[in-house]
Structure 1
């Protein structure tokens, strides 16, 4: 299983976005209450995993479930641990944001925790794609695409960017001081490098999928 989709219990994505990522996935997992969202989409997860305090099964349904009662990890962590042990390389995560802010922040922290264990780990909503980028990163994106950078670990330094409207040259981003929100692609490829810290990149959905 190389590519998996995890559907969490946050704000549901639009149906077309869900269908798009479901079609790419070799394995479809619902993280607890994500199983309720899957039902609304008339989709059948290969597995529903979590502490199962949110998923509401119907009597006439037949889902494979895996209950993990450990309260030291949330349902997204449980799903990612399951996929890591099955040597999945690419994971797309839907519905991990958009409801309770504390749960959204927790899921972004989980993104950092598990990022080294997969070749690609994306968190996706109706607006765009969030990923933790490596120290040296390059990609092609349609001109005009919105790109935002945020220091996940509090501070990231030595940041250099190319191909963006507002370039950076060996600069620092720090929470509460400076971030890099709402930049624009002006030429390709865009290149981003940094020396220390952890850097999140958000890319607007508009035409983004064409570059994957």
Structure 2
């Protein structure tokens, strides 16, 4: 099963949303993420949040459709997106996709990257997707397939990534210790499949970019 979460950041396009919806998808919208679903006539399984940013029209519509709704107080020690992720984890999905998790609020974007790690600890493969990027988190060596020329970057998440090597890319790397904020692994390109990323310890973000 896949859980699709649409959060309140930059609204995804209709094609981006529908790309991740099939008969086995459970849809959660966090606050104004519901506006994006309403715009494209998509019914969520669950709406949640403190509802400080959802439009009144959209909330009323989904209430009348008897959509499941979890309402929180405005003063709370968690974000609406985190609440959505915690609900998703309860469902024990194979995959979790976060849309609307990036945008103008850098603080929320950074917090949402941390939610990828929360999912990783729960043994759920999670990605943040927007119109330009796809972000995943990895705690052990991995490989991936992409078209030639696909841009990707790596970034240490927290602690250093030890003995990092990159093979199958335009700029190979061998046994490098990558620290947070190090630009050495920004804007690489796929040259053959699979691209192999190996490291001994640490946690790494993989960012695939389209621009």
TM-score by length of 2: 0.88
**Does 2:95 match 1:90?**
yes
Aligned to 1:65: 69
Aligned to 1:193: 198
Offset of 1:137 from its aligned partner?
Answer: 0.1
Aligned to 2:40: 41
Offset of 1:154 from its aligned partner?
Answer: 4.7
Moved more, 106-115 or 121-130: 106-115
Q: Which segments of 5 or more consecutive residues in structure 2 lack a partner in the other structure?
A: none
TM-score by length of 1: 0.88
Aligned residue pairs, count = 205
Instruction: Map 1:1-212 to 2 at 5 A.
Output: 2-23=1-22, 26-58=25-57, 59-60=60-61, 61-62=64-65, 63-69=67-73, 71-205=76-210
Q: Which segments of 5 or more consecutive residues in structure 1 lack a partner in the other structure?
A: 207-212
Aligned to 1:209: none
Change (3 A) 1:146 1:104: same
Q: Secondary structure at the match of 1:157?
A: strand
Offset of 1:125 from its aligned partner?
Answer: 0.4
RMSD: 2.0
Rounded to whole Å, the distance in 2 between the matches of 1:33 and 1:145 is 32
Q: Secondary structure at the match of 2:183?
A: coil
Offset of 1:187 from its aligned partner?
Answer: 1.3
Moved more, 44-53 or 110-119: 110-119
Matched-pair contact (CA < 8 Å) for 1:143–1:186: yes
Matched-pair contact (CA < 8 Å) for 1:90–1:118: no
